[in-house]
């Protein structure tokens, strides 16, 4: 909101589009994020996306030298990346910082970035990432984290839930209906219909 560009010279008046909100709103089972210059995380994310049974959504944060040059510098520049991003891995503690000295904890219903060993926080307080839970509440909170709120931007696989895929369920339904139906083909079905006429 308020971003000035050639197509919005007085600043945008709407909030930015968030792929994560669309994915979770559509009950998506896979969502991940990577930065264009971070090839290691990109490869990890794309491999997991390809392995996932069902639709996979990967958000790629990409620099645009024409309209938005340097938009992701705070999270792509090596001097700031460690403190401004967190790479999530299923089953691992949510740690970040140059020496993994920071972590994410829950404070009430909100995520909070803390320094381990300060203000009474220990490693035991840091959350463990569970990408496979059906409940997407925490996944959404992780996906919407921003540096503006003193939180790191989440990278890696944020959500990866095993669920029946649309195509498998659809194929199974067709097979079951065909098995029960006396007509085994579309042609057979058409020819046995009462609305058949012959063109001479």
Tens-place pLDDT, residues 106-129: 999 999 999 999 999 999 999 999
Q: Locate all alpha helices (DSSP H) within the chain, ordered by sequence.
A: 19-25, 39-51, 73-76, 78-84, 137-143, 166-180, 186-191
Q: In the predicted model, is pLDDT for residue 1 greater than 90?
A: no
What ranges do the domains of the chain cover? 19-160
Match 């992780």 to its residue by tokens: 142
28 CB-near residues (< 8 Å, 6+ apart): 55, 57, 159
Angle (CA) 40-111-17 rounded to 5° is: 65
> Token pair for residue 158?
């944020």
pTM for the whole structure: 0.83
Nearest to residue 95, comparing CAs of 67, 128, 117? 128
Between 138 and 3, name the one with better pLDDT: 138
- For residue 147, the 8-state DSSP code is G
User: Residues 109, 112, 118, 121: is their CA dihedral positive or negative?
Assistant: positive
129 CB-near residues (< 8 Å, 6+ apart): 88, 89, 90, 91, 92, 93, 94, 142
Task: Give the Cα separation of 102 and 79 in Å (integer).
Answer: 16
User: For the chain, percent helix, then strand, then coil, each to nearest 5?
Assistant: 30, 20, 45
pLDDT above 90 coverage of the chain, percent: 62
Task: Give the Cα separation of 3 and 79 in Å (integer).
Answer: 25
* Residue 77 dihedral angles phi and psi, to the nearest 5°: -70, 130
Going edge to edge, which strands form the sheet with 30-35? 57-61, 30-35, 153-160, 85-88
Tens-place pLDDT, residues 141-181: 999 999 878 899 999 999 999 998 888 898 999 888 888 87
User: pLDDT tier at 184 (50, 70, 90 boundaries)?
Assistant: low
């Amino acid at each position: 909101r308020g971003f000035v560009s050639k197509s919005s010279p007085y600043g945008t008046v709407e909030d930015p589009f968030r792929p994560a909100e669309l994915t979770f709103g559509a009950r998506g089972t896979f969502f991940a994020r990577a930065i264009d210059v971070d090839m290691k995380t990109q490869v990890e994310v794309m491999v997991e996306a390809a392995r996932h049974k069902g639709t996979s959504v990967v958000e790629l944060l990409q620099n645009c030298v024409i309209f938005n040059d340097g938009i992701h510098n705070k999270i792509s520049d090596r001097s700031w990346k460690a403190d401004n991003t967190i790479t999530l891995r299923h089953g691992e503690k949510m740690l970040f910082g140059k020496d993994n000295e920071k972590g994410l904890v829950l404070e009430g219903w909100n995520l909070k970035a803390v320094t381990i060993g300060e203000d009474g926080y220990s490693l035991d307080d840091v959350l463990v990432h569970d990408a496979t839970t059906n409940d997407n509440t925490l996944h959404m909170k992780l996906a919407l984290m921003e540096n503006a709120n003193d939180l790191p931007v989440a990278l890696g696989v944020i959500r990866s839930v095993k669920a029946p895929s649309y195509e498998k369920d659809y194929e199974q339904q067709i097979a079951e209906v065909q098995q029960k139906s006396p007509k085994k083909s579309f042609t057979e079905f058409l020819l046995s219909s009462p609305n058949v006429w012959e063109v001479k």
